[in-house]
Structure 1
Amino acid sequence: MRFQARQFMRNGVIHCKATIEEVFPLLCPKKEEEWIPGWECETIWSTSGYNEEAAIFRTVKPYDTELYWTTLQYDMNNRVVDFLITAPRLYMFRFKIDIHENGNKILAMMFTQVFTSITEEGSTLIKRYESEDFDLRLKRLEELMSLYLDDERAKKHMQ
């Protein structure tokens, strides 16, 4: 029997009281070590060591799946971050973040993820991701980002 790929898309929004200059650097797999507990990232290729177009990162934790992140677009002027993420022999997914300013220094980060399995095992995994509460995951990221930014602002005030 021939393998039948599975694909699904999910969307969500994170809101944050911050400027684009504060938030944009945090949208980097390596920088996420600073604000997401348990996150670990290895920089495979990047001239700066951080996110930039054509950078490649590797993560395993916190989700216990080896992922390779290739940055397709990292453009603060156009307020977009776009990755192609590969879980070898399992699935690939496109992960795009579009950032919009809602006024009063409130940013809305629109997350779009499109998963496509490349093996039967990958189909099983993304079927599980499909049933996951993505809004709950994004709510947690929103809380973590806000806490981190509040802490950074407090440190600057104390200097």
Structure 2
Amino acid sequence: MNTERSDKKIAELKAQGPQYLRRLITHTQHFEATPEVVFPLLCPTTEFDWMDGWDCEMIYSKSLIQEYNAVFKTDYFIPGEVWVVSQFEPNRSIEFVRISETLSIKVDARILDNLDGTCTGNWIVNITALTEQGNAALRSLNPEDEPIGILIDALAHYIRNDTIKPLPDGIFNKK
């Protein structure tokens, strides 16, 4: 098999170096609830119940809730963002791939049953710039300022209190 062309392209790309930045953000949260309570809330439709100002347009979902290959759009984080559920295991894990004009964001959420009526959620967020504007956004991003922790804290508040926790102004495009 002749791999001369692909070998040449790989050598060019290595010499060029990465054009776009990537950031990794992680968050862990303990919940005083079972995975059967927490997991269904990680859904574009049920987020209306607990996320301050959440809005989305469901593009495709047979069940109209979280499911494998569901597609929806939102301007909540980044204007014009398209989301795809790329992995789904009920009450255990969900993965969203979010694409905007400037960034690609993959969100992996895993819910671990602690077998005592509680669970632990682990989020891994990979953010990759797609443009120079995306590079600039990632250069200015401090992991401690990433809103995943703020949102997951709001989720924990909703589970504890059955009320929406107001989110700080200016970090989301709330309706």
Structure 1 length-normalised TM: 0.81
Q: 1:94 to 1:106 in 2, by over 3 A?
A: same
* Greater percentage in strand: 1
Percent sequence identity over matched residues?
Answer: 26
Instruction: Identify which range, 28-37 or 99-108, moves more after superposition.
Output: 99-108
Secondary structure at the aligned position of 1:144 is classed as: helix
Q: Say whether 1:112 aligns with 2:124.
A: yes
Q: CA deviation at 1:24?
A: 1.1
Aligned partner of 1:58 in structure 2 is 73
Counterpart of 2:158, as a letter, is Y
- Work out whether residues 93 and 111 of structure 2, in 8 Å CA contact, stay in contact via their aligned partners in 1: yes
Amino acid at match of 2:100: A
Compare CA radii of gyration and give the structure with the larger one: 2
Give the letter for the 1:144 counterpart. Answer: A
Match in the other structure for 1:96: 108
RMSD over equivalenced CA pairs, Å: 2.3
Aligned with residue 88 of structure 2, among 46, 50, 74: 74
1:148 paired to 2:144: no
Deviations 1:100-149 (A, max 9, x none): 123432211100011111110111112233x14257751x3344223322
Preserved contact between residue 12 and residue 134 of structure 1 (Cα < 8 Å): no
Q: 1:136 to 1:53 in 2, by over 3 A?
A: closer
1:21-36 equivalences under 5 Å are: 21-36=36-51
User: Structure 1: where are the runs of 5+ without partners?
Assistant: 153-159
Question: Structure 1: how far apart are the matches of 2:151 and 2:143?
Answer: 15
User: Residue 151 of structure 1: CA displacement?
Assistant: 4.4
